[in-house]
Amino acid sequence: DVKVTQSSRYLVKRTGEKVFLECVQDMDHENMFWYRQDPGLGLRLIYFSYDVKMKEKGDIPEGYSVSREKKERFSLILESASTNQTSMYLCASSDGQPGTTEAFFGQGTRLTVV
Amino acid sequence: DQQVKQNSPSLSVQEGRISILNCDYTNSMFDYFLWYKKYPAEGPTFLISISSIKDKNEDGRFTVFLNKSAKHLSLHIVPSQPGDSAVYFCAASVDFGNEKLTFGTGTRLTIIP
């Protein structure tokens, strides 16, 4: 089974803190993604990566950055956390092969910024 | 601009009956569509998919229908079971394999015993 593991289930951070959300996948997938889920807005793509050291902006990248130094690990960084970044954060990976776009998700990190 | 829309935020269905969840999209370049199911405090799990070369795909109790001319897809669950109670997201992508998924806003399905 594909496993996508996010380092924390719940986090509480203060406004202005630098926050790191870590994600690891064990299936040698090429693609990794960070989404956030908010009520009434569905899942919105923050950043994604097709390969090590490569990254592309998604639909809502402002206030975030990412790092992919190793194929299995994709980190989301909130440079200076703000209360409007309180959300459920979901990491996903996919193998990037033609014929399949199924992405596998981690269990999510519920981040609260106070 | 919401490219994938699920206009029903919630749906209640009697156990044993058919559940029909709907999804509309605006980007005619989308050529692969997926449904995900999400329980509270868990990540979404893949349910079923369909490519634009088909108009129907079936997997057990789940069937997805695609109407390209109407830019509409639907998920049918029959018979509905209490364990089907969850939030369902439809998603779409432009290219096979490498492209990001664009998600709808979700429909909360409640199965009434």
Per DSSP, the residues of B39-102 read -TTS--EEEEEEETT-SEEEETTEEEEEETTTTEEEEEESS--GGG-EEEEEEEESSTTTSPPE
State the pLDDT confidence band at B41, using cuts at 50, 70 and 90: confident
State the pLDDT confidence band at B7, using cuts at 50, 70 and 90: very high
Positions in chain A short of pLDDT 50: none
Which residue from A3, A58, A2 is spatially nearest to A33, judged by alpha carbons? A58
Which residue from B7, B47, B53, B48 is spatially nearest to B30, judged by alpha carbons? B53
Query: Is pLDDT of B62 > 70?
Result: yes
Residue A102's pLDDT is 81
Residue B100's pLDDT is 82
Residue A98's pLDDT is 60
**Subunit contact B43:A97, Cβ cutoff 8 A:** no
d(CA A47, CA A71): 15
Residue B20's pLDDT is 98
Is B91:B103 a contact under the CB 8 Å cutoff?
A: yes
Summarised one tens digit per residue, pLDDT across range A46-65 is 999 988 988 999 999 999 99
In Å, how far are A2, A4, A14, A108, A112 from A104, measured between CA atoms? 7, 7, 30, 12, 24
**Subunit contact A58:B44, Cβ cutoff 8 A:** no
Residue A103's pLDDT is 87
Residue A8's pLDDT is 92
Residue B34's pLDDT is 93
Per the DSSP assignment, residues forming a β-bridge with B90 are B35
Residue B16's pLDDT is 97
Lowest mean pLDDT among A9-23, A70-84, B41-55, B59-73: B41-55
d(CA A56, CA B2): 20
Is it true that the peptide bond before B79 is cis, omega within 30 degrees of 0? yes
Residue B95's pLDDT is 66
Is B36:B109 a contact under the CB 8 Å cutoff?
A: no
CB neighbourhood size of B1 (10 A): 5
Q: What is the mean pLDDT of residues B74-80?
A: 98
Residues of B in contact with A98 (CB under 8 A): 96-97
Distance from CA of B94 to the nearest CA of A (A): 10
**Subunit contact B43:A108, Cβ cutoff 8 A:** yes
Per the DSSP assignment, residues forming a β-bridge with B86 are B109
pLDDT mean across residues, chain B:
93
Residue A95's pLDDT is 83
Residues of A in contact with B31 (CB under 8 A): none
Residue A9's pLDDT is 94
Residue A87's pLDDT is 97
As a whole-number percent, the residues of chain B with pLDDT over 90 amount to 82
Query: Is pLDDT of B97 > 60?
Result: no
**What DSSP designation does B42 have?**
S
Exposed, middle or buried by CB within 10 Å (0-12, 13-18, 19+), for A4?
buried
Residue B2's pLDDT is 79
d(CA A108, CA B43): 6
